[in-house]
Structure 1
Amino acid sequence: MTIAAGNEHWPSRCRRKVLVQVVSLFKEQNIRVYLSRSWSLSWPLTLIMVFEFFIGLTDVYIAGKVSKEIQATYGFVIQLYFIFIVIANALTVGTVSIVSRLYTSGDRNELTRAIFSSLLVALGTGMVLAVAGILFSPQIIRILNIPEELK
């Protein structure tokens, strides 16, 4: 749907204008520098996720060689595992951001406190998720609607 102002269809003109602005931003040196810096910080986590994908793919392949039931069970379990990975990656990104900022500022006391706090948060989060998984596993299995032969 377009909104006309006289004979002009401004949404298409607006889109063109935005596209031209985005392209001109990417032509500037500053954006390239920022993208390069961003990639230099994010490539290790990207590589880890690629390896996790291949490990998961290998697991599915091997589970399929054993039996289709095991492969199906793995498919259900990997959904839960992915939730934990997302939480762990979020904690990792936040921790790296805070610790690197404090490291470059030179404030060693705050850096030590941030590292200690990060370890406590990771340990606490892991314990809470583990206890929740143990206590609520029947409800989780019911919510996922896992077939009886796979339980």
Structure 2
Amino acid sequence: MVAELLDETDRRLIALLRADSRLPASSLAAQLRVSRGTVQNRIERLTARGVIQGFTIRTRPELEANRVRAIMCIAIEGERSSSVVKALRGLPTVDKVHTTNGRWDLIAELDTETLREFSDTLDRIRTIEGIASTETSILLATQKL
């Protein structure tokens, strides 16, 4: 398992990069109490191994005020999970799909530009063969913990 291959320095480095992926290597090195070269080598190694899969940005929430984000809980008919996941993977407005236990088989994270696109996404998902039922909740606000 990949997590077992990470030492404490790797974990701390990843945490610092999550908070601000633009921190210079020299700043990361100072906070981790290692050399700049060590930080650069670790970032390269973590990226090459697929532990770090990319770097991204966060925008101010008011810049995305019109976006519609939601969580859709999905119940699957029989043994059709893989075909449903494959169909969901083909929809650009489905950001992530999680398998789960309990009442729902899958949880899909939806991210759309407009309510019209959101409605169209719901219509498309509901027609996927193998979906027994869905329940969707729009995310109104997100709190950073």
TM-score, normalising length: structure 2: 0.20
Higher helix proportion (structure 1 or 2): 1
Higher strand proportion (structure 1 or 2): 2
TM-score, normalising length: structure 1: 0.19
Larger Rg over CA atoms: 1
